[in-house]
Amino acid sequence: GENVEQHPSTLSVQEGDSAVIKCTYSDSASNYFPWYKQELGKGPQLIIDIRSNVGEKKDQRIAVTLNKTAKHFSLHITETQPEDSAVYFCAVKLVFGAGTILRVKS
Amino acid sequence: DAGVTQSPTHLIKTRGQQVTLRCSPKSGHDTVSWYQQALGQGPQFIFQYYEEEERQRGNFPDRFSGHQFPNYSSELNVNALLLGDSALYLCASSFGLAGGNKNIQYFGAGTRLSVL
């Protein structure tokens, strides 16, 4: 089955800085890569996704990049704000990464 | 338009008991998936229901069973509860089978199950 690894497990940044979270996967046939944000007391919410026919996708301050050859994809958050503090998960097929706790210090 | 709703929000059971969790999908969705999320971990896929049948299953024992009704709502049943079953149980709905495609999953807020 699919194996998904996510790094780092925790990330602290100063408000306004950038944050990058990386996810690696094992099945080269995988072709859809979503990122989720989970706030306290809520379920995960999709924030951005990418398909294997593109290398990068942006949505305002959030972007996802994909390297199919190396089998990894990354979430990039620019100009971080306190409300970006949450747990972020990558997923491949129905397998989720272990999560990254992002803390944005103001 | 209501999103995914789950009930109850919290539940306390003792070892050996049985529990039933309920999920109503987002309007227009026909597929329901269930996940177990232990504290500090990512969601783990239990199974997925479409057209009232279990279509895909994760690595969970058959103590975990489910059902989907004609109105697309779903139940998760866990028998012979163990202490290790304590977790947040998440329901996600989608239009069409999810996983490996662009059928977006929408999650409910979950049911927090504590087994004593």
Q: What is the pLDDT of residues A10-25, one digit of tens each?
A: 999 999 999 999 999 9
The two counts, helices (H) then strands (E), for chain A are: 0, 11
At residue B42, φ and ψ (nearest 5 deg) are: -80, 160
Distance CA A58, CA A61 (A): 8
pLDDT at B102 over 90: no
Q: Which amino acid is at B103?
A: N
* Number of residues assigned to chain B: 116
- Read off the pLDDT of each residue in B51-71 and give the average, rounded to a whole number: 97
- pLDDT greater than 70 at residue B1: no
Instruction: Decide if B100 touches A, using CB distance below 8 A.
Output: yes
What pLDDT is recorded for position A54? 81
Give the type of residue at A24.
T
Report how far apart, in Å, the C-alpha atoms of A99 and of each of A8, B38, B49, B77 are. Answer: 8, 12, 25, 26
One-letter amino acid of B39: L
**Cβ(B91)–Cβ(B49) under 8 Å?**
no
Nearest CA in chain B to A27: B100
Of A31, A34, A89, the CB nearest to B42: A89
Query: Is the pLDDT at B45 greater than 80, yes or no?
Result: yes
Q: What value does the mean pLDDT of chain A take? A: 96
How far apart are the two ends of chain B, measured CA to CA in Å? 37
The residues, ordered by sequence, that sit 6+ positions from A106 with a Cβ below 8 Å of its Cβ are: A15, A82
At B19, the pLDDT band (50, 70, 90 cuts) reads very high
Confidence class of residue B103 from pLDDT cuts 50, 70 and 90? confident
- Cβ A32–B101 below 8 Å, yes or no? yes
What is the rounded average pLDDT for all residues in chain B?
Answer: 96
B116 CB burial (10 A radius; 0-12, 13-18, 19+): exposed
Count chain A–chain B contacts defined by CB atoms under 8 A.
53
State how far the Cα of B88 lies from the Cα of B36, in Å rounded to an integer. Answer: 6
Backbone angles phi, psi at B28, to 5 degrees: 95, -10
The pLDDT assigned to A52 comes to 82
A38 pLDDT higher than 70: yes
> Could you give the 3-state DSSP secondary structure of residue A84?
helix
Mean pLDDT along residues B7-22:
98
B44 touches A: beta carbon within 8 Å: yes
